Amino acid sequence: MRRMLQILALTVMLAAAVTWLATGADIGWTKTTKPNGTLDEVTGIVDQTPVKCFVAGVDFLALGFGGAALLAGASVFFRKPNTNNQQNDQ
């Protein structure tokens, strides 16, 4: 169980870091939309209509790292596998 939680913590941390990097390593807040940006050629107005787009921000990264820290911390409460007993049995 201890090892499983540690692996899970590492996975969560890596997943958060990879997602943050893959979506542009944005140092602002997480965004779920961005402006359309299309130019209306007749009027010259740039369309600001929001379109769906996920950009992970520092809050996403902090949440991922925080979750990983909690999982790693929780693993402390589980006992280490008793290797001495195994050695003695042999």
Partner 1 sequence: MKLTHFVPLVSLATVVCAAPESFDFKDPKGVNNVVFKLDAPLESINGSASGISGTVSFDPENPAATSGKITVASGSLTVPNPLQKEHLHSANWLDVEKYPEITFETKSLANAKTDGNVTTADVTGTFSLHGVSKEITAPVTLTYLKDKLGDRVPNLKGDLLVIRASFSINRNDFNIQKGKSEDKVADVINLTLSIAGAAAKP
Kindly tell me which residue out of 3, 24, 33, 81 binds partner 1, with binding defined by CB under 8 A. 33
29 belongs to the binding site for partner 1 (CB under 8 A)? yes
Write the DSSP assignment of the chain as a string of letters. -HHHHHHHHHHHHHHHHHHHHHTT--SS--EEEEE---B-TTT-PBP--EEEEEE--HHHHHHHHHHHHHHHHHHTTSPPP-HHHHHHH-
Is residue 11 within the footprint of partner 1 (CB under 8 A)? no
Q: Is 58 in the site for partner 1 (CB under 8 A)?
A: yes
63 binds partner 1 (CB under 8 A): no
86 binds partner 1 (CB under 8 A): no
Q: Is 30 in the site for partner 1 (CB under 8 A)?
A: yes
Of the residues 48, 66, 69, 81, which one makes contact with partner 1 according to CB under 8 A: 48
